[in-house]
């Protein structure tokens, strides 16, 4: 895990549930077959109502028609990000689409765990709502050492909550590599 | 300082004498449950991480109920069930319930209870967010993703942050127009979809004690909709009776201490509560049924782990008996046992199934069906701008299929009254 994550931001509202992240009808594709796996990227965030897709303007598809990856690699959400089902396909779909981190005010437990334990992306919590100050398309940079996110478009920096007790799992890249590193599982 | 029932169960599982909310502990898992949507990717991760020759930590503790996409022509969905079938054979799993055979059970959370996997005092994890349903049996149960499930499959262990508890006490006697679904929708309207994030919800009080196990499961089922890790109701005589003949051997029963610490407590008098719905598109958009009555509806749906239990169909039959539905109404029993009971149980001289058929309802075999939309050919799936009144647990945009549809979550009484009325109705007027 690098100490910096940068890319273009894709901004969403509050309560982005797992049906919006990856609609249930797409949960049939193999997660190990490389060609089939691409479908998770293709359909990532296709359940978001058009007016809420890519704030503040909306109507900005996360993945362009016919593509399998997104031009955006950092999601900026609001409160209760990832609520709903336990489907690990949700952080997986964002990962396949090219997302490295989600920055949100708060998360639903299972989405948070799945992101960390599966090593799909880093879920950062923020003390303040950033989905009202960062716009879709802004270039942002996250500094894991300093726990900050900087909007390179206007040079404003905001603090992120410390990853706390999951920091070691995030840095190891997931629960399995963490368990091997700490000797809980044989290497 | 005393401990809550949840802290006691987790302490036992972690091999500790006491635990404090906020601390991370490794738990020993009693049962791991999975299904056709999350089972195949879980097995793939497990094989990748533990090797092709890997052994399940305890194969009698792994339970697989295919239930989500069962009656569909979707080739990928059918391939997933076939993968589970092959895996169960290869691992010689006794707790695999194959679709198309007499062993098929239907929706996992109901089947867990009916097949005796819900044991008081134990810890159950499942690859489904509604795994919290099992908490109705005085146990800790919660949902996890595929990676965590694969970790459990190989080790029997998982890390968890000990949750704080929030207590919900329901006093008074349940009026005949009120169901457990109204109670949980009432709570959701009060605290919102993140009102209990990472907390354990504990339910008690005279009204809770009066509820059957199936009704209690409606409460704990929707704990996840408030963001909770789990929902729990302490073991009592009702639990004991339900478990007779299902759970063999002894189990340990836990209760919260009188001086246990709660993050918050809420108290309700059920005699003052009225039937409520959750309006589109969030389970916390509460409205009184009487406030939204008359709203145009295009489909009624009674089914799922939340609203497809025998008690839900008893409620519905009371209203549908001798009436005709005015909008297409879809009935999906939660399990094969429930489907059988619909053919056996009678109300006013007719079986429940006959009542639904005479009323003009469409009845499907047990599965998750349209609760989560599913493949295009799923029974009862919403299309276009459908307005659905449903006994299910979620009404997020697109949840039941069409992105343009709206879903009202309601009790089986409210759904049945709506079906008879043709537009949204208050069941209190139909009692």
- How much is the ipTM here? 0.95
Strands (E), A19-117: 74-76, 101-104
- Tokens of residue B205, six digits: 């009080």
Instruction: Identify any residues that bridge with A76 across adjacent strands, giving them in sequence order.
Output: A11, A103
**Pick among A22, A26, A27, A50 to test the B interface (most B CBs inside 10 A):** A27
Considering only the beta carbons, identify the residue of A19, A25, A109 that sits closest to B229: A109
| A107 contacts: CB under 8 Å, gap ≥ 6 | A80, A81, A82, A123, A125, B197
pLDDT the model gives residue A187: 79
Other CB atoms within 10 A of residue B61 CB: 18
SS3 category, B24: strand
Read off the pLDDT of residues B48-86 as tens digits, 9 standing for 90 and up. 999 989 999 999 999 999 999 999 999 999 999 999 999
Q: What is the rounded CA–CA span in Å between residue A28 and residue A165?
A: 33
Read off the pLDDT of residues A87-133 as tens digits, 9 standing for 90 and up. 999 999 999 999 999 999 999 999 999 999 999 999 999 999 999 99
Considering only the beta carbons, identify the residue of A17, A19, A86 that sits closest to B145: A86
Q: What mean pLDDT, rounded, does chain A reach?
A: 96
Q: How many helices (H) and strands (E) does chain A have?
A: 6, 7
**In contact, B197 and A106? CB cutoff 8 Å:** yes
**Pick among B24, B398, B405 to test the A interface (most A CBs inside 10 A):** B398
Whether residue A6 lies within 8 A of chain B, CB to CB, comes out as: no
pLDDT reading at B107 higher than 80: yes
Q: What is the rounded CA–CA span in Å between residue A29 and residue A38?
A: 9
Instruction: Identify any residues that bridge with A102 across adjacent strands, giving them in sequence order.
Output: A75, A123
- Tokens of residue B83, six digits: 């993968």
Is pTM beyond 0.80? Reply is: yes
| B178 contacts: CB under 8 Å, gap ≥ 6 | B270, B273, B274, B275, B411
Q: Torsions phi, psi of A166, nearest 5?
A: -95, 0
Whether residue B156 lies within 8 A of chain A, CB to CB, comes out as: no
| B278 contacts: CB under 8 Å, gap ≥ 6 | B185, B188, B189, B284, B285, B286, B287, B395, B408, B409, B410
Q: What is the rounded CA–CA span in Å between residue A154 and residue A131?
A: 15
What is the pLDDT confidence band of residue B1, given thresholds at 50, 70 and 90?
confident
């Amino acid at each position: 895990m690098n100490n910096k994550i940068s890319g273009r931001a894709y901004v969403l509202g509050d309560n982005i549930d797992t049906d919006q992240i990856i609609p249930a009808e797409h949960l049939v594709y193999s997660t190990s077959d490389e060609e089939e796996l691409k479908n998770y990227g293709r359909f990532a965030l296709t359940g978001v109502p058009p007016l809420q897709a890519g704030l503040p303007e909306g109507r900005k598809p996360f993945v362009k028609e016919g593509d399998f990856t997104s031009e955006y690699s950092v999601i900026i959400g609001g409160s209760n990000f990832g609520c709903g089902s336990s489907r690990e396909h949700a952080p997986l779909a964002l990962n396949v689409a090219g997302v490295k981190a989600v920055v949100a005010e708060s998360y639903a437990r299972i989405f948070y765990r799945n992101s960390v334990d599966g090593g799909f992306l880093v879920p950062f919590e923020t003390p303040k709502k950033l989905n009202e100050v960062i716009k879709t398309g802004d270039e942002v940079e996250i500094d894991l050492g300093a726990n900050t996110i900087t909007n390179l478009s206007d040079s404003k920096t905001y603090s992120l909550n410390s990853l706390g007790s999951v920091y070691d799992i995030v840095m190891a890249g997931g629960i399995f590599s963490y368990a091997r590193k700490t000797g809980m599982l044989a290497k | 300082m005393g401990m809550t029932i949840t802290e006691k169960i987790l302490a036992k599982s972690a091999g500790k004498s006491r635990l404090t909310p906020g601390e991370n502990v490794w738990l020993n898992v009693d049962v791991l449950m999975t299904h056709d949507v999350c089972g195949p990717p879980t097995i793939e991760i497990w094989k990748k991480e533990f090797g092709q020759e890997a052994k399940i930590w305890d194969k009698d503790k792994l339970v697989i109920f295919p239930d989500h996409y069962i009656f569909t022509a979707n080739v990928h969905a059918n391939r997933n069930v076939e993968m589970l079938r092959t895996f169960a054979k290869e691992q010689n799993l006794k707790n695999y319930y194959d679709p198309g055979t007499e062993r098929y059970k239907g929706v996992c959370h109901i089947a867990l209870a009916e097949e005796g996997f819900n044991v008081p005092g134990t810890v159950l994890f499942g690859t489904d967010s509604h795994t919290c349903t099992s908490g109705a049996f005085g146990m800790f149960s919660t949902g996890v993703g595929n990676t965590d499930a694969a970790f459990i499959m190989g080790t029997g262990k998982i890390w968890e942050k000990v949750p704080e508890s929030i207590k919900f006490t329901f006093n008074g006697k349940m009026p005949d127009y009120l169901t457990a679904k109204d109670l949980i929708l009432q709570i959701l309207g009060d605290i919102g979809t993140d009102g209990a994030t990472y907390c354990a919800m504990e339910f008690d009080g005279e009204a809770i004690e009066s509820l059957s196990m199936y009704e209690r499961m409606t409460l704990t089922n929707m704990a996840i909709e408030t963001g909770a890790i789990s929902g729990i109701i302490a073991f009592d005589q009702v639990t004991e009776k339900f478990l007779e003949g299902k759970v063999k051997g002894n189990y340990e029963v836990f209760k919260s201490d009188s001086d246990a610490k709660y993050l918050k407590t809420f108290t309700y008098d059920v005699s003052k509560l009225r039937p409520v719905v959750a309006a589109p598109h969030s389970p916390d958009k509460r409205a009184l049924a009487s406030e939204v009555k008359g709203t145009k509806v295009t489909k009624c749906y009674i089914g799922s782990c939340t609203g497809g239990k025998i008690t839900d169909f008893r409620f519905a039959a009371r209203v549908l008996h001798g009436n005709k539905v005015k909008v297409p109404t879809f009935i999906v029993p939660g399990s094969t046992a429930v489907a059988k009971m619909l053919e056996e149980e009678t109300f006013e001289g007719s079986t429940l199934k006959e009542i639904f058929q005479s009323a003009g309802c469409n009845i499907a075999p047990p599965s998750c069906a349209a609760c989560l939309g599913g493949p295009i050919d799923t029974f009862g799936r919403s299309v276009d701008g459908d307005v659905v009144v449903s006994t299910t647990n979620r009404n997020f945009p697109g949840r039941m299929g069409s992105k343009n549809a709206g879903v009202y979550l309601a009790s089986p009484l409210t759904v049945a009254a709506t079906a008879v009325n043709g537009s949204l109705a208050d069941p209190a007027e139909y009692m």
